[in-house]
Each structure stands twice: as C-alpha cells, then as structure tokens.
Structure 1
Amino acid sequence: MNHAFILQAHIEPELLKRIVSKIVAPNHFFFINIDKKVDIEPFKDVLDGIPNISFLNDEDRLSVNWGGFSQIACTLRLLKKTLSSPDNIEYVHSISGQDYPIKSNEEFDAFFNQYRGESFMMYDTPEEHDEWSKPKGKYEQRYMRYSFNDIHPTVGTKLVQKVVRLIERFHYLRKPIPNIYAGWSWFTWHRSVVEFVLKYLDKHPAYEKRFHNTSCCDELIFHTMLYPYLKELNIHPDEALRYIDWHPEASYKGTLPKILDERDYNKIINSNAMFCRKVDFKHSAALLDLLAIR
C-alpha cells in the first residue's frame, strides 16, 4: 500500500529533513510545497538523496498565508499531484513542516492495513458546533466577513492596509453557507475521499469560490462538504490521528496549538496519534530526540 504525505513548509529545513527521514520508505511518497516567500534551495539541499520526494516547482508552488484561501489552494494543488502520480497512491496524509511522526514505519503501515479504506479527520464536537454555529458566532465570523489575509503581506502602504481592514470589518454582505461544519484542517484520507473532494469541487466551482477571501476556512471547506457523506466514505469524524494540545495548562504562554516539548512525551506516545503537532527546534529538541528512537 502506497502512502503520500502532502507537506506545507516554510521554516527550519533541518526539521523537515528529520520529519521525512523518520518515515522514509519505499512505499512512502512526499509531495512538498515550500512557501514561495522563502528560498527553496536550503530545503532541497537538506533533502537531497532522500528518495520519493517531489517538490512543487517554482511555477506551481504557492505563497501560503495564515488564514488565507492560499492554505486551501495549496492543499488542493498537492492533492491533485498525488492523484496524477504514477505510484498508485492509496492514502494521503496532510501534514506541515512542524508535524512529527510518532510511530515506526512498521506500526504505521500495519495500522492502515488493518483499517484499509477508512479515513480520519477531526470535526468539532457537537457542543462546539452548537455554540459556534450560532448567528454571528465563530463560523460566521470566518466566512461572512471579507478577509484578505493573502494580500496583507504585499500591501504597500498603511493607508491601503487600513482600507482593507475596514472592508474586512464592515462588509457583512454575503449569503450564509447552509449546514456549515468545521474541525481541524489536517487529515488522513483514503484515495476514495481525495477523488470525491476533487470531483465535487470540479462539479461545484461556486462552492470553492465562496470560500475565497474568508478567514481560516481551511477548517470549514472540507468538513462542510464531506459531512453528509461520512458513512458512505468511511470517514471517522472524531479521530484525526494527530496529537494536538489546544488547551494547555495556564502556565503556558505561547501560541496555540501548544508547541510540544519533552514533558508531553508520555501523553503523545499513549495516544492513538500517528503525528504530533506542533514542534520546533527551539522548544522541542529533547522531545524530537525521544521520538526519533521509537
């Protein structure tokens, strides 16, 4: 069974090398977007000689901005690359350059042989959905307002920035999206789900277009689309196979999700997860060393 790992990375080439090196195998293939805002060469240099790696070239790779539609566009571009691959990819795993593998390759492959044909993604809990889907709630804040996260980095003047943010704040002119659902943006999909998603968007271009100029809708677009088909497509909606800590102890003062360290090791290895998120060299070096020898 062949697996594809679609990766979006923009920092720490050596960390990307450690991630890929942990899961490299003859049946594991990597499709990588290095953010167009950064130099791709350091990433190519550190991964040189590692097999089964395909970078999006300069014509295809995208500049990805937090909260922008560019995150969705990048995921779709990488998904299309997996389906066009001659390697008969059966599973696609969406990860970033800060998601570290937890299991050995033998454990990883054995799991998907056991659950072959099943897919995994995390939906918000029923309680979260009920609260956040209320009028003017969290979901509407994301898709009803106009957001221009993808142009902020290139905006030239403070005046233009103020105008853009004014439009974002007050242009509440869109029609609601019915039956909205949301969850984590990172997923593990069987090929059947990938094919379904791409065919759906091809047949319903207005659906994809509706998420342009929204905020953080990489956590809505696929969940809303797939919700009516969870059973048909054998999707587990409450298991993303990722260990992520969204609710750290009060003493934690960093960004969310929590940047993991060695104190999280036991919780990580005792979870059902295949990857842990989020790691970096500054905070997670000891944790990475522990996980590397598993």
Structure 2
Amino acid sequence: MNKSGAHTVTEFIILGFTGSWEIRILLFSLFLIIYILTMMGNGAIMCAVRWDQRLHTPMYILLGNFAFLEFWYINTTVPSILENLLSETKTISFAGCFLQFYFFSSLGTTEIYFLCIMAYDRYLAICRPLHYPTIMTLKHCCILMSVCWVLGFTGFFLSTIQLSQLSFCGSNIIDHIICDRDALMNLSCVPAPATEILFYILSSLMIFFPILYILGSYILLLRSVLQVPSAAGRRKAFSTCGSHLAIVCLFFGSLVIMYVTPKSENSGEGQKIISLLYLVVTPCLNPLIYSLRNKEMKAALRKVMGIASE
C-alpha cells in the first residue's frame, strides 16, 4: 500500500502510556474495571429493551441501539489499550492499525449522529408532546437510526483509504494509545496537506454542526421546562437535561481539542489523557446518564434479572 521506493512499514508500535510496571498495572486495573462496567451497563440495556415488551417504543429502541453502538465502540479501542499496557512489544499490523482507525472513527461519528436524534427525540417529547406519537413513530425512528449508521460508516471510508496510501518509510512508532489520524500522519515521509485539510474539514463539520443542533434543541427544551408549573417537575427536568448536556460537552469538548485545535496545543501525554475522555469515560457514563436513571428502564432490568435468576 506504500508507493515509496524506500523501506515499507509493515507494522506499527503503539507507544501507549509509558512508566514503571507498577503504574501500568494500576492503569490496567482501572481501565479494566471501567471496561467491565461499561460492557455490563450497555449489555443490560440491550437485554432489557430486547426482552421487555413495554420498552418496544421509539425512545427505548433508540436507547437500545445507542447501547449497542457503545458496546462496539468501546471494543474497538479499550481491549487494545489494555493489551498494550501489559505488552512489551506493543506492535500492531499495518492493516490492523487502519482497521482500528476506520471502525473507531466510524463508530464515533455514528455516536455523534445518535446524540443528535436523541436530542431531537427529547425535544419532541417535552416541547411537542401531543405530536410526539405521530412524528416519532417506530418506522420514523428506525429510518433515523439507519441513516446514522450509514452516514457514520461511509464518512470515513474513502479518507481512511487515502490515509493508508501515504508514504510510511521511516519511524513506525505511534506516540499515542490508539491508531489515530494525527499520530499516523506524523509518521508520513512525505507531507500530505490535501489529506490533512480533508480530515480537518470532515472533523469540523462532524463536530460543530451536531453540537450546535444539540445545544439548540436543549435550549428550546429548557425554555419549555421553565413553563412547567410544578417546582418538583422543573427540578427533575433540569437535572436530566443538565446531566445530558454535561456528557455532551465532555464528549464534544474532548473531540474539539483533539481534532479541531492546532496539533501543537494537544501533543504528548496530554493528548493521550484527553483521548481517554471520549474513548473510555463517556462510554462508561452514557448508560448511567441516558438509560439507567430511567424508572421504566430500571423496572425492566429488575424483570430481566428476575427471569435470568429463575
């Protein structure tokens, strides 16, 4: 895949987190606990939506698909991060590196779109409750989810191929915890400004337009909440919206720092730590914030666990 006449890179070394063996074991234990909790949370949501007939509504099917997405999103990166912490070689094949980049980027983009339709769903439910059943039908919900998956997995297809065609003929050491865009482009022997501009434009469009849409939806939602006569109802709605917005800001804020700001401002160990926010932290918090605080979801989980224990 390398058109250069120089030495062709066949594998990469992901440097990951450096430090003593004790520090790496500590990080491994921490990330493993978070990984297990994330898998359990999303798995429980998928099971509840699958087996409880009361949750076969657009909102819960959307949450179940979001849990399915998070399940695979965290599996594209965290297992390799865990392996890297214990490994001495830290190698990944050329093809494996770009496959990881493609699936991690595609699933991350799909998550951005899912957050948009979840904000849209909440807007309809609170701001237009009388029209919600006719607008957010099961068919409409499935179409929206399908569009998210298709757009997410087509957006980075050609750009990933273009990135893999760069000339990698020098160092093969990736100073990051995963195979990511900037880390790979830094290893190219020949400058590729066109590819860099393409990724910058893609990243900017995929981050700024969705976050503006989500923030706009929640502004309209909060305006409706202020008109709720019950103080307890307002507090509950503000609590829910506040937690949602906190996760959205954490997720999108880390993406902006990583993919939109200049490279010189987020390099080295700081880049690895920021990456953990959207690779590890938000996938762990999303099930708790979006689903497990919901009364109907908790009742369904108790029912599923009761069936499983019989």
Q: TM-score range, shorter-chain basis?
A: under 0.3
Structure with the bigger percentage of helix: 2
The TM-score with structure 1 as length reference comes to: 0.27
Structure with the bigger percentage of strand: 1
The TM-score with structure 2 as length reference comes to: 0.26
Structure of higher CA gyration radius: 2
